[in-house]
Structure 1
């Protein structure tokens, strides 16, 4: 099943609060909203994508636990980007001072900022073009580093502000560069 985009703008333009309430009232649906206000209904992931998500989260969270430089979030976490889009990356990380600057109420709801680092895993039914646009949207909204992992092709696209997308074929590991210093993510289980 692929993600479905629902344009309801001609009927109603949902406010941030209404979108949040919609998500709260429908916990069995994974919803996102793009900058045009269209709703994106995301299907559940398959086993291999879910397994890969957990593997990546564990590696990033383990690094973060040792370094205490920020907070790691899973694919259920909503972020309201500066553009107004509401997104949920597969794996994300927010630098500590940015997280600490949020109020308790802001931390309880969709996080009102763009993550500093995101990972998206291309599921078998995902559109490559739409996933590339999603990561580019993160970069345009302040993200410093984004990875798009295509398990089928064993390919990684690396996104950085102001730079061309870098494509790596079958890398065995990836570096968090200066954004997540010392992070080395092992991709062998992702490809396997």
Structure 2
């Protein structure tokens, strides 16, 4: 189980953002600081492959871009999704077009990869928080169960397994990926 670094305090989001970075990353949700669990091999590999797959479809045609472990500060909290995806026109940029280092909007799509030592309710609170602040779709990938739960605002979550196609952002019209594809990445033969 991942303990919180600090219990409820009077610390503000701005004060949290001034603290030294931790490895693995820390998040600030509802006044509490939590440290994310250390990624293990399956988690790390899925994050790498999935981010690459999204960018291969979305980045070159300027549709979307995926950012692994991006600190996103919105709604009075600071979260670090395993992968944050933004539609191209919403990628935080400076006036000259260069990427903005400080993200202050919710991603359009977040992807979380379940780790055995994560706290279920903390993960659900983060997913609900994102959906309540404008995220269009959230994936919760569970390598152990070989499933992906799809969350969308105001809809019942859907569990996808095997050859089930995984929905993405509507702008990704050429997107094709199944749960089996993701789980297949874990086999090195």
**TM-score, normalised via structure 1 length:** 0.83
Distance 1:66 1:29 in 2: 30
* 1:37-81: CA deviation from partner (whole Å, max 9, x where unpaired): 100012321111111111111111111123211332101x10012
Matched, 1:182 2:174: yes
Distance 1:106 1:8 in 2: 33
Give the superposition deviation at 1:16: 2.8
**C-alpha spacing 1:184/1:5, structure 2 compared with 1 (3 Å):** same
Larger CA deviation: 117-126 vs 129-138: 129-138
Give the superposition deviation at 1:5: 1.6
**C-alpha spacing 1:55/1:29, structure 2 compared with 1 (3 Å):** closer
Matched, 1:107 2:100: yes
Q: Which sections of structure 1, spanning at least 5 residues, go unmatched?
A: none
Question: 2:156 corresponds to which residue?
Answer: 164
Structure 2 contact 136–169 (Cα < 8 Å) conserved: no
Q: Which sections of structure 2, spanning at least 5 residues, go unmatched?
A: none
Question: 1:116 corresponds to which residue?
Answer: 108
Distance 2:186 2:162 in 1: 8
Structure 2 contact 67–83 (Cα < 8 Å) conserved: yes
Matched, 1:136 2:131: no
Q: Equivalent of 1:31, from 2, 8, 26?
A: 26
**TM-score, normalised via structure 2 length:** 0.84
Distance 2:168 2:157 in 1: 16
Structure 1 stretches (4+) deviating beyond 6 angstroms? none
Question: 1:60 corresponds to which residue?
Answer: 54
Structure 1 contact 176–182 (Cα < 8 Å) conserved: no
Distance 1:9 1:19 in 2: 12
Distance 2:94 2:105 in 1: 9
Structure 2 contact 12–31 (Cα < 8 Å) conserved: no
